[in-house]
Amino acid sequence: MTDTHLAIIVLAAGEGTRMKSATPKVLHPIAGVPLVGHVLATARELNAAHVVAVVRHERDAVASAISELLPETLIVDQDDLPGTGRAVELGVDALPADFEGDVVVVSGDVPLLDAGTVTALIEAHRAAAASATVLSAILDDATGYGRVVRSVDGGLDRIVEQKDATADELAITEINSGTYVFSVRALRTVLPRIGTDNAQNEKYLTDAVSLLRGAGDNVAAVPVSEPWIVAGINDRVQLADAALRLNQLIVRGWQRAGVTVQDPASTWIDLTAKLAPDVEILPGTQIKGATVVERGAKIGPDTTLLDCEIGENAVVKRTDGTLAVIGAGASVGPFAYLRPGTYLDADGKIGTFVETKNSHIGAGSKVPHLSYIGDTTVGEGSNVGAGTITANYDGVNKHKTVVGSHVRTGSHNVFVAPVRIGDGAYTGAGTVVRKDVPAGALAINVAPQRNMTGWVEANRPGTAAAQAAAAASDATAS
Ligand code: UD1
Ligand code: CA
């Protein structure tokens, strides 16, 4: 149910310079979802009446990603005045004038922050009737963070930024995580009063704490249960650390849901993938995007699947697949390359060193060895011979190949599209199928073989081949 007294402001206007990237920081993915997407997912779970995202750097890219991830988000542009305080001020201004209640402020670069942690913070804030409640963390190394300065009675006094801190303050290990709950009334009073007289000439949101306390308001800092929950991503090392942590959580979640994961350390599963009980995942496997794997399927080793559907009890070994649908009991690989639009029906096979694209291979049909099959449909119970290539591209257009049901094609064929091979037809080894093959026919177009007897002895006398040939004919003679 929507909490009509709750709004969330996601800060995503910063540059993220330490990523050294052309991609805006908050759009770097972990577990297949951009950083800001993780934060928006948490925001959605909180059922707030309003979600506001403040953007500026790479505005269009960030805004459109946010709108796609959580369409109800209100996008607010930050102006030339820098700082988290200014960002929140503009966010609050964008809320309806009659909005009363609490505002959660989160950074777009804190992907592991979960809704449960924020809910607990909101509850503490409301129970204490506080104006500001800061989620803090105790860190071994607090470098870079704002420090939580407490007064002698242990209450929150103020937050000092690393760049403004004294040596004594720098020794403090309790840090500001950058996640807060404020009463909107307090924010409306205090934000316009925050100045930029500090080491960074920015409007610090953190200054709200001392100003509110000075006005006699109740402010508090509540330490998070485990510091990794509030880890912010500033560079690629932290990005990889967070990705690893999240992957461990995801893999464990699936293990507890009945999935066998032989080697969690080399198994990467996106947040968006879905696995059924009794799926088995072998080492070196990545399950990405909207991939769905049904019960009993065995994936890997060394397999990457993006947006694929894998049916019950299918086996997919050493395969790279994108947008492919594999039927129940089917078998793929080792060393298969499934490109978009591959459909393999139940009990079919796409075997070793086979590439498929935009092709539908019917139930029980097999493409077992060394083939390229593109823009093709194959009926049921057919076998496409080893080394078959569909010549689907004439240099300008792509053309279709249609293979019927219960067809047997010979090894090393080329199907020159557009072409059709009828139900129950056969083709000989080495056939270049340029014309349609009627149902039940045998198509052969290789030139008849001529054996020029004695050619080696006559033309290559004295070679090992000639000697072997002579020995063979002696043996036949005797
Ligand atoms: C901020 C806090 C610091 C805290 C740390 C936690 C302030 C002044 N400091 O520092 O106490 O320990 O987060 O990670 O708030 N942003 C905007 N507009 C701006 C500036 C920043 O939207 O003008 C956004 C950024 O995109 C980011 C978040 O605010 O998502 C935090 O900004 P960042 O520059 O990373 O703040 P820190 O210096 O890390
Ligand atoms: Ca930061």
Residue 14, ligand 1, Cβ within 6 A: yes
Say which CATH number the domain at 15 has. 3.90.550.10
Residue 24, ligand 1, Cβ within 6 A: no
362 and 216 co-located in one domain: no
167 and 294 co-located in one domain: no
Shortest-distance Cα residue to atom 30 of ligand 1: 107
Cα 87 to middle of ligand 1, angstroms: 10
Cα 145 to middle of ligand 2, angstroms: 8
**Which residues have a catalytic role annotated?**
369
Residue 235 falls within a domain, yes or no? Answer: no
What CA–CA distance (Å, rounded) separates 412 from 370? Answer: 9
Of 27, 30, 215, which is closest to residue 130 (Cα–Cα)?
215
Cα 97 to middle of ligand 1, angstroms: 26
Residue 145, ligand 1, Cβ within 6 A: yes
pLDDT for residue 3: 97
Tell me the ligand closest to 145's alpha carbon: 1
What CA–CA distance (Å, rounded) separates 316 from 302? Answer: 10
Tell me the ligand closest to 56's alpha carbon: 1
Cβ atoms of 247 and 241 closer than 8 Å:
no
Residue 136 falls within a domain, yes or no? Answer: yes
pLDDT for residue 475: 83
Cα 178 to middle of ligand 1, angstroms: 7
- Cis? peptide before 301, omega within 30° of 0: yes
Residue 74 falls within a domain, yes or no? Answer: yes
Residue 85, ligand 1, Cβ within 6 A: no
35 and 112 co-located in one domain: yes
Tell me the ligand closest to 196's alpha carbon: 1
Residue 28 falls within a domain, yes or no? Answer: yes
Who surrounds ion ligand 2 at CB < 5 A? 232
Atom of ligand 1 nearest to the CA of 109: 30
pLDDT for residue 15: 87
Helix (H) or strand (E) holding 247: helix 236-256
- Name all contacts of 189-198 with Cβ < 8 Å and 24+ positions apart: 189/215, 190/215, 191/85, 191/88, 191/89, 191/92, 192/89, 194/85, 194/89, 196/81, 196/83, 198/161, 198/163, 198/164
Q: What share of the chain is helix, strand, coil (3-state, %, to 5)?
A: 25, 30, 40
pLDDT for residue 34: 98
82 and 178 co-located in one domain: yes
Instruction: Write out the chain's pLDDT in tens, 478 residues.
Output: 899 999 999 999 988 999 999 999 999 999 999 999 999 999 999 999 999 999 999 999 999 999 999 999 999 999 999 999 999 999 999 999 999 999 999 999 999 999 999 999 999 999 999 999 999 999 999 999 999 999 999 999 999 999 999 999 999 999 999 999 999 999 999 999 999 999 999 999 999 999 999 999 999 999 999 999 999 999 999 999 999 999 999 999 999 999 999 999 999 999 999 999 999 999 999 999 999 999 999 999 999 999 999 999 999 999 999 999 999 999 999 999 999 999 999 999 999 999 999 999 999 999 999 999 999 999 999 999 999 999 999 999 999 999 999 999 999 999 999 999 999 999 999 999 999 999 999 999 999 999 999 999 999 999 999 999 999 988 877 6
Task: Tell me the residue type at 243.
Answer: A
Residue 383 falls within a domain, yes or no? Answer: yes
Handedness of CA 369, 371, 374, 376 (dihedral sign): negative
Atom of ligand 1 nearest to the CA of 234: 35
Cα 231 to middle of ligand 2, angstroms: 9
Say which CATH number the domain at 356 has. 2.160.10.10
Handedness of CA 454, 456, 458, 462 (dihedral sign): negative
297 and 432 co-located in one domain: yes
Atom of ligand 1 nearest to the CA of 13: 22
What CA–CA distance (Å, rounded) separates 32 from 286? Answer: 11
276 and 195 co-located in one domain: no
Residue 326 falls within a domain, yes or no? Answer: yes
Residue 101 falls within a domain, yes or no? Answer: yes
336 and 283 co-located in one domain: yes
Residue 219, ligand 1, Cβ within 6 A: no
Residue 331, ligand 1, Cβ within 6 A: no
Residue 178, ligand 1, Cβ within 6 A: yes
Cα 329 to middle of ligand 1, angstroms: 51
Residue 306, ligand 1, Cβ within 6 A: no
What CA–CA distance (Å, rounded) separates 64 from 26? Answer: 12
Helices and strands counted in the chain (H then E):
10, 37
What CA–CA distance (Å, rounded) separates 389 from 385? Answer: 10
Which of 230, 248, 281 is the last residue in one of the domains?
230
Residue 136, ligand 1, Cβ within 6 A: no
Residue 368 is part of which domain span? 258-443
In this prediction the pTM is 0.93
Handedness of CA 113, 114, 119, 120 (dihedral sign): negative
Q: Within its chain, how far is the Cα of 389 from the centroid?
A: 32
118 and 26 co-located in one domain: yes
CA 112-115-119 angle, to 5 degrees, is 135
Q: Which of 35, 56, 107 to mutate to test the pocket of ligand 1 (most atoms within 8 A of CB)?
A: 107
74 and 213 co-located in one domain: yes
What CA–CA distance (Å, rounded) separates 221 from 146? Answer: 13
- Cis? peptide before 418, omega within 30° of 0: yes
32 and 98 co-located in one domain: yes
266 and 343 co-located in one domain: yes
Q: Which of 84, 182, 210, 211 to mutate to test the pocket of ligand 1 (most atoms within 8 A of CB)?
A: 84
Residue 357 falls within a domain, yes or no? Answer: yes
Atom of ligand 1 nearest to the CA of 159: 11
Look-up: residue for tokens 């790479």? 58
pLDDT for residue 474: 87
Query: What token pair was written down for 265?
Result: 């350390």
Number of domains forming the structure of the chain: 2
424 and 341 co-located in one domain: yes
Cα 42 to middle of ligand 1, angstroms: 19
Which of 230, 245, 269 is the last residue in one of the domains?
230
